[in-house]
Amino acid sequence: MWRGTFAALSLCVFIGTAAHAETLVERGSYLVNTVMTCGNCHSPKGPAGDIPGKHFSGGLSWDEPPFKVTAPNITQDKETGIGSWTDAQIKTLLRTGMAPNGAHIAMVMPTGFYHILTDRDLDAIVAYLRTLKPIRNAVPVPIYKMPQTEHVLPGAEKPFTEAMLKDKVQRGFYLASISHCMECHTPMGPQGRLWKTRLGAGGFEMPGPWGMSVSRNITSSKTKGLGNWTDAQIKLAIQHGIDKDGNHLKPPMGFPYYANATDDDIDAIIAYLRTVPPQD
């Protein structure tokens, strides 16, 4: 899911015993390229989507009241990417939003959802990023028009453990968090997202090449949300952008990314969504 003008769109394999058979790089590749939808912001776009050969070399730009920024180059280029960063610096940015220079990065980066990342998944993401070929591409220096802060999703303040992910609903919450679903599906108030009063209620406007998208209500409400949708209907909407009435949903939902997520992961996300209190 995307944020602001193109709110960050919004990528997990089964985290039980089978997950530990994966290498860290394989796990990181899965996370980055499916539920976390990193390329949705960090890869440059052309008329047909991502520009071949330029993946993760810097992408979308935002010029909004809090900042004027371009999604940075996250390839291993040492001058224009993150090739000179230490593993610890990458992890600190992901979990706290603090860059190596001590500045908090633009709020468009959903680090407020990444505090929940397990230690192993954090290691996996870094391991995968280290495999990205270096591409030289300097993006504009960010301009911050006000102090940048994080809006941390309640329940996602601390890293989950592997044991916590054995519960299907807990795992669904974890996946929905690192997918930053509620970033777009929760409306904004004067002080930020209305987590406590309008979680998942929708109504957030997202202008873009598609026109104006308004995020859907994804609570368990039977009249306004997903309460009377079947699991199969929710899955079709998440992965292919088709609602229960057969209508094609607009971007910025990351359908191409979610389409490659495992059935177990999508099922877990749906199980969590069933628990979100109804908002009418």
Q: Is residue 278 included in any domain, yes or no?
A: no
**Residue 268, token pair as written in the block:** 């877990």
Assigned token pair, 66:
């809090």
**Structural domain contains residue 131:** yes
DSSP letter for 204, please: -
Write down the pLDDT at residue 251: 79
Cα distance between residue 250 and residue 207, in whole Å: 11
Q: For residue 68, list its beta bridge partners.
A: 63, 143
Q: Answer whether residue 256 is part of any domain.
A: yes
Is residue 230 included in any domain, yes or no?
yes
Q: How many domains are there within the chain? A: 1
Asked if the structure places residue 125 within a domain, the reply is yes
Q: N- to C-terminal Cα distance for the chain?
A: 22
> What φ, ψ does residue 208 adopt, rounded to 5°?
-175, -170
Any domain includes 261: yes
279 lies in some domain: no
Domain containing residue 246 = 17-273
pLDDT tens per residue across all 280 residues of the chain:
333 333 333 434 334 434 446 899 999 999 999 999 999 889 988 776 778 899 999 988 888 888 999 999 999 999 999 999 999 999 999 999 999 999 999 988 999 999 999 999 999 999 999 999 999 999 999 999 999 988 899 999 999 999 999 999 999 999 999 999 999 999 988 777 898 999 999 998 887 667 788 999 999 999 999 999 999 999 999 999 999 999 998 877 888 899 999 999 999 999 999 999 999 8
Residue 137 lies in a domain: yes
